Structure formats: C-alpha cells, structure tokens
Amino acid sequence: MRSIDLASRSGAALKRAIQAKQLPSRVACASARSFSSTSSNNTGVLPPRYETLYNKYSEVRRVLGSQRLTLAEKILYSHLDNVEESLLSNTNGGRDIRGKANLKLKPDRVNMQDASAQMALLQFMTCNLPQPVIPASIHCDHLIVGSKGADEDLKAGIATNNEVFDFLESAGKKYGIDFWPPGAGIIHQTVLENYAVPGLMMLGTDSHSPNAGGLTTITIGVGGADAVEALVGAPWELKAPKILGVRLTGKLNDWVSAKDVILHLTGRLTVRGGTGYIVEYFGMFHSRSFAF
C-alpha cells in the first residue's frame, strides 16, 4: 500500500460560522416538472442489504484467512459475484490481489447523467426487462450549459433539450427509475445527499462519482455501456484497485479548510497519480470535522 503523510503546522483549527441562506427555486420559472419522481417498485431500497454483505464478507474471510484488508477493500470485496474466482485467480493464492485480480462485482445502484443516460436506456430497452435489476436514477444536469447565469442557462437548456428530458422522464416512469429534472441539482451532489450510505457500492456515469466516498460509499465513475451491464444484473468487471493511504497528522491552521488539504494532495499526486487506486484516509483526523 502506498502511503502519503500530510502534516500541518500546529495552530488552532478553523472555526467558521455559516449562516443558512435560502435560495430561490430556479426551476419553477423554467419547468413544471417536479424535483424528483421516485420509483415505487421494490428495487428502490436505498441502503445496501447489510446481512447479504456480511455473509459475502464472511466468504471473503474464509478464502483469504487473516490477510489484512482496508475498509474500502472490505466493502468492495463484499460485492463480489464469485469470491473464489475473483480473489484466487492469478493472485498467488490471494496474496497478491491489488492491481492483478479481475474482480466481478455486483453494484447496489446505478446513477446516470442526462448525456449518457440516453443511449444507456435505449440499450436497456432492447433487453426486454420490466425494470432494472438494481435501483437506478437519472439526473438532468450535463445538458445545461453555463453561460449567462443560472436562471437564463436553465431556461435555455430546457428549450434546447426538452425532447431529451421528456424521453428520460417517460423512460424513468416506465422502468421505475428515479428522475431528477433540470434544476434539481448536479448529479454527484444529489447522489451524495440522497443515495450514499456506508457500505453501498454504486456506479455513476460521471467522473465526480467518487465524491460519495466521503460517506464511506464505494462509487466508481463509468461509461454508459458499463451502466447497462449493471442495470441488467451482469457482473461488472474491475481490475482490483491498489490502495493509496493518506495519513493525516497535526492541526489545521486558521483559515485552512479541507479543500486546501485536498488541493495540496492533488498537487503531490499530479494528474494521473490516483489512477488505479482507491485513496483512503487514516490518522488522528478520523474523529475531526473538516470545515469546507
């Protein structure tokens, strides 16, 4: 496991008072759609089935014995379709999994942004299934182009892509997929606030999907074709990620926030420094609250 130490100079932690600000509804003037139409079928259960995950993890322990795993690996391997096939093939008997094993995983949920959801849904329709095997959601945010301001951009985006939004909404209703219309929020933040729970594994057709890792959720950014595989219940394949451990020590100076820490870390990792890795944080900061 690679490890990076991030130590700050001593100093009082930042204390910041944030006043709640009531924001006007931007979607009301541009669209009559509700903020979310939620499926009522039985695939819409939000939390993972913890008993199922625990049973799968017990199987992982039977195969790997007392081999040490990080929290991220425990969650990831608990979503394996076939534990022995994934962890014992080409891994020196399970002792060399990271970066070598081909994991076949069964995600709990799929989240799709409006640009990639179109083709994914068209492909799903050819499978003749009444609904996805796992819960899913559609988020209309990528087709809203930022130019003049939120209100004007939202109106223009709806006018330009109304046919697309109508298709996505009707497909969501037909197949029991949650639909978040234009103006309802950006996909990775909406997913974080409404679907992410500890232990869950999700796929998202957005590069910011790992944002949900802040709530101990394994979320991986994928393409539309990968999303279709998950929707129909096919195992999703992934090269076993390596682990990059980040040990946090010391205290934040005044006016230093969590974002400053992450910007410093990305500068050290460079553009591709985290490719093929799960970045996992540990150290004394596990019990602290970071101000954003």
pLDDT at 271: 87
- Per-residue CA distances from 157 to 112, 118, 152, 254, 260 (Å): 18, 16, 9, 41, 33
Among candidates 225, 223, 198, 224, which has minimal Cα distance to 212?
Answer: 198
pLDDT at 113: 97
Count of beta carbons in the 10 Å neighbourhood of residue 93: 9
Work out the percent of the chain whose per-residue pLDDT is above 90. 68
pLDDT bin (cut points 50, 70, 90) of residue 25 is very low
pLDDT bin (cut points 50, 70, 90) of residue 5 is low
Rounded-to-integer distance, Cα 104 and Cα 169, Å: 31
Measured in degrees and rounded to the nearest 5, phi and psi for residue 170 equal -65, -40
**Pair 82, 234: CB distance under 8 Å:** no
Helix, strand, or coil (residue 1): coil
pLDDT bin (cut points 50, 70, 90) of residue 252 is confident
Q: Average pLDDT in the 266-287 region?
A: 85
- Residue 187: is its pLDDT beyond 80? yes
pLDDT at 251: 83
Q: Which domains does the chain have, with CATH numbers?
A: 2-14+243-287 (no CATH), 50-105 (no CATH), 110-232 (3.30.499.10)
pLDDT at 282: 87
pLDDT at 248: 87
Residue pLDDT, tens place only, 145-156:
988 988 999 999
Mean pLDDT of the chain: 85
State pTM to two decimals.
Answer: 0.82
**Pair 202, 111: CB distance under 8 Å:** yes
Residue pLDDT, tens place only, 49-93:
889 999 999 999 999 999 999 999 999 999 999 999 999 998 998
